[in-house]
Copies of this chain bind each other. A is one copy, B any other.
Amino acid sequence: MPVGTYGAVKAMSPDELNALGVTMILANTYHLFLRPGHELIGELGGLHGFMGWDHGILTDSGGFQIFSLNEYARISDDGVDFASHLDGERFHFRPEDAVAVQQSLGSDVMMVLDHLIPSTSDREATRDAVRRTLDWAARCHTAWTDRSADLWGIVQGGLFTELREMCAKELVQMDFPGYAIGGLAVGESTEDLYRMTGVSADVLPEDRPRYLMGVGLPENLVECVARGVDLFDCVVPTRNARNGLLFTRRGKFVIKQARHRSDPRPPDPDCDCYLCRNFSRAYLRHLYMTGEILASRLATIHNIHFFMTLMCDIREAIETDTFDGFRNEFHRAYSGDCPVNC
């Protein structure tokens, strides 16, 4: 599971990520394009050199942030016009630019530029966005001349089964080395998320990675793996950590709760991360309540360890053909809505 970043995995050093077994991170092309700029990063050895990161780097195309951070982004068949959310500078960004920028960044896995629309869009608007997404995917594929890095296609289609299927089929025709499922985890119901993930993954070839973008919570990972997904990215582990929420196999652990005030136990007694091996609930709560950076760091280490271990256990269950049992046992133990009461 890549851990997202635009210049650093928040609160973490490369050494710590290595120690946690992280082998791929996600970098946000839009943010790095604006600041410090992909040319500069290219001159400084790409993101691997710039960040001091020796392992895999997956980059998004920039499209998601262009659409989500720019109220007035203007789409044409040629590309997208947007203004920097930092200083208002205007840019015209074409599918070919997305590939070129990601190449400058030194990405290992690049993404095609896609046209993201709200999941509440009607069939007509969604069909139009799928058509443009496919057109852009083809142009990105053509621009993808340096094959030392991967370029993956992205399935769009909103909440419409036949548009998702059509989009996935056309992408597979173009023959990408991997495929992402996009346009989900943007406000739709969990039921719709699971349904559209399944519909999309069913069309994608089993011998290519299937990557669900922007997902998710632990229960989402288990359920979406069940529907065929191999790879995820999300802010959930790191952002929640900084906001004082730890994940455990028994559910969520809210650091600031008063009942942890004098509790000498580790946050998660079943966990062997640096936090849980060395510090008490009382100490972590004290760090959090006093705004210490170390609270964010320890909680981030714990949550990344949790997600890495969860994905590792899922892989092992699949390899030993025990995934159904793992899935049932996971849901039995994990109470997603309630804080841990132990």
**Partner-B contacts on A (CB < 8 A):** 6-8, 10-15, 35-36, 40, 43-44, 50-52, 261-262, 264, 274, 278-280, 282-283, 285-287, 289-290, 292-294, 296-298
Contact = CB atoms under 8 A, between A and B. Distances in A.
Contact of A283 (B50, B286, B292): B50
Most B C-beta atoms less than 10 A away, residue of A15, A294, A298? A294
Most B C-beta atoms less than 10 A away, residue of A8, A14, A15, A298? A8
A264 B13 contact: no
Most B C-beta atoms less than 10 A away, residue of A15, A40, A289, A297? A297
B44 A282 contact: yes
Given A279-B52, A287-B8, A40 B294 contact: no
20 contacts: A7-B292, A8-B292, A8-B293, A11-B293, A12-B294, A13-B294, A35-B289, A36-B261, A36-B285, A36-B286, A40-B261, A40-B262, A40-B282, A43-B262, A44-B264, A50-B280, A50-B286, A51-B283, A52-B279, A293-B293
A43 B262 CA distance: 9
Contacts of A280: 44, 50
Contacts of A292: 7-8, 10
A91 B23 CA distance: 53
